[in-house]
Structure 1
């Protein structure tokens, strides 16, 4: 039975870096993800004056509850959405003038709801070009806290950023959320905040965070469930079997629920305390599925949908249009290039398998999006001739993906 060791979770690593920087004392992160996004986050912390020591298996961060150690800084957030949304929020709790910019791709991604909420809390935040987008400057003087309303219908990261800020305010925060996507990611945030000593609770659509800061700790990063979805999907479409260690019944990440979608389609799934196994049965059924809470795995499902026995309709994933690219249209365009019938709407995609008509290989347009490349690598297990215009964009979250994926296929 092939066993795959998936790199650490990007989402958990980013949250852990924020929490470690804000905590009182030295925090050790065990097995953090080392990728372009997380390296960019760590580099941003260093620019803000935090001490970050990195070894292959552990990162150590000297926390500063009072905020950045410098009075001025220019921070480049690369392509990282967590970096671009979390670091300005962290800086706002300190004192000084901090400028943030990002790649052209990240500049296009929205920031407006978080900016409005921070301004409502008294943060002096200015967008230099397009309102609601990078670049931006924060003239920080601490955050008192209080009540604020937030629309997190585009990204749960807006809510996570405010939640993480809460213990650093003098009064705490009471956040009323009018809309929320990818809710399981917020549960990750709440669990991790508590692990670092914060008091936070949810009352329906209201989140209450007490002041009091964070305590340093040693924190182990679990494997990335979104990344694991490509290996689970690979087993489902090839009739192979794969086990991912470190993702079991106690996992924090909601994206592990992707295996339940595979189970509905006909794969065999076994989840234990510390591992999950998927075995392909040689058949995949069509289905209609809502993926609002696990939308990062939408491209994975879209990429294997052509191998199902009937149509696959994925609903309530409108937020995927404002990720690294418009993932709904990127999946649709690439599937059509392979000869697959696809329809899309504002927040849905429907893929109709071609029956006996074989798909033809083609070059996949990645749009610089790591998830498009990794998803269609799964399609390539069954369709000869698939290539990518930018295979290296996987470095954003998994620099060694192609090597590990190829090794797994060889073992099968």
Structure 2
């Protein structure tokens, strides 16, 4: 058995940074993710005037329930979607003039449902270039609160940003959601808000109405669990190579919905064992074909695409249209790279079907997307010679990924290669 230590969750770290910045008092974040995304978020908070002290395994934040200390700021959000979507909402609750911009990649990604919702709440917000995209400017004067309707079918981050904003408004928020993708991420948000002292209630048809009370957050010490999306590459590797991998820190009480990727592997023939504080995947290396809806765990769609050619039958992944507006069009990027490897692939607006085959080595077109690199690193375990046009883009969430995965591959080599069924 191989035990793998996974860095802290990107999603949990970003939410914890927002909540700690908004809380009354000083918070300590234990084992936060240290990567380009999380460091960019922390740098954005510093630019807004929040006090952030970073040590190797813990970060300290002094919260400001009244909003940013800086009366004006120009914040660069890098490639981080959570930074680019959460920080404008946080700044809008304060008083001052704030400009936000991002990388060319992030500029292409949509913001409109969130920024339209902020305008509905009375926020003076202007997009400087393309409507619904960065860069944008906010003239903040606090937010009264009230009711709004939100379409979160493109990204659950729109709803998360507004939920976390709610306690900073004078009267709270009542949000009616008409569509929602990646719903488990909202469960992360609600659980973390609860840890910082805020209870959100849900009601209405299908529990689609979220009522967020005013009153602010209380500071706390919060431990960041390992990143379940990152763990998916190691779980997939175990399933593919006939190995056994255990990831501590992701057990039965884990917040992240992406841990459900192991259920997909179980359906394909792997054995999965989850305890209170760890998850283990073991396999003989044989994988069956599958048709699976991955709407709620779409960040792991590329992981499944990376191992799909080695299954005994076609792998069809459905309801993942939102992956087309991630760091890149992930659905198309997976399809194009697999075809370059000689694999037959069919796609539609929100689905991809991958036919079994023997991938040949090629240079993967990453589009600067960390998940494309890490997913095809799993493929490379059975297809030596795969390279990447931008291997360094993994710094977004896991700067040490290549070293960690190479070490894992060496362990597999010592144990002998799995035979394909």
- TM-score if structure 1 supplies the norm length? 0.99
Shift of 1:38: 0.3
- Structure 1 Cα separation of the partners of residues 129 and 286 of structure 2: 51
In the other structure, the counterpart of 1:217 is 220
1:48/1:68 contact within 8 Å kept: yes
Q: Is the 8 A contact 2:5 2:248 kept in 1?
A: yes
- 1:193 positional shift: 0.3
Q: Distance in 1 between matches of 2:32 and 2:384?
A: 35
Q: Does residue 343 in structure 1 map to residue 339 in structure 2?
A: no
What do the CA deviations read for 1:135-171 (whole angstroms, capped 9, x no partner)?
Answer: 0001000010010000000000000000000000010
Residue 74 of structure 1 aligns to a residue in which SS?
strand
Q: 2: CA distance between counterparts of 1:9 and 1:59?
A: 14
Out of 272, 277, 288, the position equivalent to 2:275 is 272
1:208 paired residue number: 211
| Partner residue of 1:334 out of 332, 337, 361 | 337
Q: 1:292 Cα shift?
A: 0.3
RMSD value over aligned CA atoms? 0.5
- 1 CA distance for matches of 2:190 and 2:153? 18
Contact 1:268 1:281 in 2 (8 A): no
Contact 2:338 2:359 in 1 (8 A): no
Deviating beyond 3 angstroms after TM superposition, the runs of 4 or more aligned structure 1 residues are none
Aligned to 2:417: none
Partner of residue 21, structure 2: 21
Question: In structure 2, the residue corresponding to 1:251 is in which secondary structure?
Answer: coil
1:46 is paired with a residue whose SS is: helix
Whether 2:366 is the aligned partner of 1:363: answer no
Aligned-pair distance for 1:199?
2.2
Question: For the residues of structure 2 that align with 1:85 and 1:138, how far apart are their CA atoms?
Answer: 13
Residue aligning to 1:386: 386
Q: Secondary structure at the match of 1:314?
A: strand
1:228 aligns with 2:231: yes
How does 1:74-113 map onto structure 2 within 5 Å? 74-113=74-113
Query: Gapped runs of 5+ residues in structure 1?
Result: none
Distance in 1 separating the partners of 2:284 and 2:143 = 55
Say if 2:321 is the partner of 1:325: no
Query: Which residue in the other structure is 2:164 paired with?
Result: 164
Q: 2:316 is matched with which residue?
A: 313
Distance in 2 between residues matched to 1:369 and 1:359, nearest whole Å: 21
Q: Name stretches of at least 5 consecutive residues in structure 2 with no aligned partner.
A: 413-421
Q: State whether residues 225 and 253 of structure 1, in contact with CA within 8 Å, keep that contact through their aligned partners in structure 2.
A: yes
CA distance in 1, matches of 2:405, 2:288: 24
Q: Structure 1 CA distance, aligned partners of 2:222 and 2:326?
A: 28
Distance 1:111 1:374 in 2: 26
In the aligned structure 1, how far is the partner of 2:99 from the partner of 2:253? 39
